[in-house]
Amino acid sequence: MTVTYKLEPGGALTGRIRVPGDKSISHRSIMLGSIAEGITRVSGFLEGEDALATMNVFRAFGVRIDGPERGDVMVHGVGMRGLKAPHKMLDCGNSGTSMRLLCGLLAGQNFDCALTGDDSLRQRPMQRIAEPLGQMRAEIVTAEGGRPPLKITGVANMRGIEYRLPIASAQVKSALLLAGLYARGKTCVTEPAPTRDHTERMLAAFGYPVERNGGTVCVTGGGKLTATSIDVPADISSAAFFMVGASIAPGSDVTLEHVGVNPTRTGAIDILRLMGANIELINQRQAGGEPVADIRVRHAELRGIEIPVELVPLAIDEFPVLFVAAANARGVTVLRGAEELRVKESDRIQVMADGLRALGIGAEPAADGMRVTGARYGGGVVDSHGDHRVAMAFAIAALRAGAPITINDCSNVATSFPGFVELADSAGLKIKCD
């Protein structure tokens, strides 16, 4: 289905908003709940296409999963060795998280399986997962160029390894830790910079011992997971669109409720504050082992900055909309050290640069980032290339545009943010969907 967003310029964001549940935590709640012993109850589950793809995969493994019903899910765990061989190739849809984490979890099973995805996912690199898992004796065969579909042969004698990530990646780290649950001995992963730690936190919540020492995290194979309750907070990656929108649009004052503020995910807040944003965290608390807060954002004059490289892994999914913040800042914003953006749902560096230029913004892409010069801009037609975060980012840009903006190829917004158009419209964005 072809979906096009059409936006009138101007407006402000106001009120209290609850964005959908965290995608990363929703994925992991199904994966770990499925291999736990007992019934895991999940609330706040993201009913987006990516997380639903993970749910459907585990149903194919014979796991009974009730729901989702208004974000509530019950996962009837089958234990570490209770997954059954699927009868067909498993479709991960558009979800790179599903495919990469499944590689680790499936490598040590007692059956073989195959994973595929949509056109976009079949273009994304998987060799950086297959290679370190191979060091653990996993058998994963990729298609040409190290891309999906993947064939995974279950291996009974996987071994733990010590692995140093060449590039900070939560997905690679998580895949190795999940494989480590089935390996002999200890599996340790050292990362060059902090990345999201939802896997480690959730393993601990399920009662599985996790060792952490600085930038190294370890698990020892042969343990078990015990069912628990998971409260999925609102996704900070989804909240970031409204944080940027309220920051750039005069008259805005919006409060985002019950947002996950895990310190490995708050890079967008830190970057926006460095740019001068007025962001306040209210009612900070714990929910299901994750820190959460209400986030109040009011309009502020932003300034261009050189984004600190140490914040890049902590905001990797939020850069499409952060580029929109840069377009509305006074001066120049420079991003470096973000080469991973080239291999997301689209080449987010090039696609965002093309879209910003279409609106009249100076954007100079580089191999690992971009230089954006803030200025007044007009409207135009933007191609999101099927990337949900690109589509939503340019929708937010309309708040300060000088003319209407049309965004093509927006159907994949449903992968992470079902109901985006309705929620954005209620908050003050002048958006329609064709």
For the annotated catalytic residues, the residue numbers are: 317
Residue 327, Cβ density class (10 Å: 0-12 exposed, 13-18 middle, ≥19 buried): buried
d(CA 189, CA 215): 8
Helix (H, G, I), strand (E, B) or coil at 16: strand
Cβ proximity of 172 and 125 under 8 Å: no
Q: Mind giving me the DSSP string for 80-117?
A: TT-----SS-EE-TT-HHHHHHHHHHHHTSSS-EEEE-
| Of 221, 195, 196, 190, the residue nearest 208 (C-alpha) | 221
d(CA 236, CA 215): 23
Q: Taking the CB of residue 167, how many other CB atoms lie within 10 A of it?
A: 14
- Name residue, tokens 């708040």: 399
Q: Tokens for 390? A: 């690109």
Whether the bond into 209 is cis, omega within 30 of 0: no
CA-based end-to-end distance of the chain: 11
Q: Which segments of 195-305 does DSSP mark as H helices, in order?
A: 198-205, 236-248, 267-274
Cβ proximity of 102 and 79 under 8 Å: no
> Which residues, including other chains, have CB under 8 Å from residue 214's CB and lie 6 or more apart?
none
